Amino acid sequence: MMEFKCEKKECDGECAAHMISTINEVLSNGELIVYPTETLYGIGGAPQEEDMMDKIRRVKEAPEDKKISLAYSDIDQAAEFIDEDLPGSLWTLEEKFLPGPLCIVVETEEGTEGIRVPDHPLAQKIVKDFGPITSTSANIHGRPAPVDIKTSKIQLDGRVKLYLNCGRCELGRGSTVVKVKDDGFEILREGPISEKEIGDALEI
């Protein structure tokens, strides 16, 4: 197990080259990282790796049917990665709320996909440099939310290769999860962004 701790008062994403190189190496080798977002610490893995989603479910002790979202730098990167026509409402929500504490769920040929654009300099640096990574809270399923690295390390002891410690998460609660449809939207989990705010943005 490795840990990098940011000594800056406020993360600016300007990390040492060897740190970014190590992150990329860990992800490329199919290993997991714990990384900060504005909401909670997340488990990051390379989604292209075979059985990565199952691996993360095992680490989290989560149900086999638990969906795992992906973190992107923006909606354009998500559209390129998913390689499908996505609802126009995604770009409307991006303009209003992203990067930010919102996970947008869309229907694709492969089933539902969760799209997250985290508002944290280090998370943004990783997904811009490495590419999309998984985005799911870095804790055992059903146990306390990982608002700091200590919570994650206690729960995930020995299961993760690299921990990225950037202090306590700014918001300390899960993102709003919204499913967008052709005829509207559905809130799947309430979070920092309200149903009214989303409805106003989509003019629904």
pLDDT in tens, the chain (204 residues): 899 888 777 777 677 788 899 999 999 999 999 999 999 999 999 999 999 999 999 999 999 999 999 999 999 999 999 998 899 999 999 999 999 999 999 999 889 999 999 999 999 999 999 999 999 999 999 999 999 999 999 999 889 999 999 999 999 999 999 999 877 899 999 999 999 999 999 998
Q: Please report which residue ranges of 29-148 form alpha helices under DSSP H.
A: 52-60, 75-82, 89-97, 121-129
- Half-sphere exposure in the Cβ direction for 175 (13 Å, CA): 29
- Position 190 scores a pLDDT of 94
CA dist., res. 145 & res. 204, Å (int): 32
- Position 15 scores a pLDDT of 74
CA dist., res. 50 & res. 2, Å (int): 23
CA angle 191, 14, 172 (to 5 degrees): 20
Q: Name all domains of the chain by residue range, CATH numbers in brackets.
A: 2-90+112-173 (3.90.870.10)
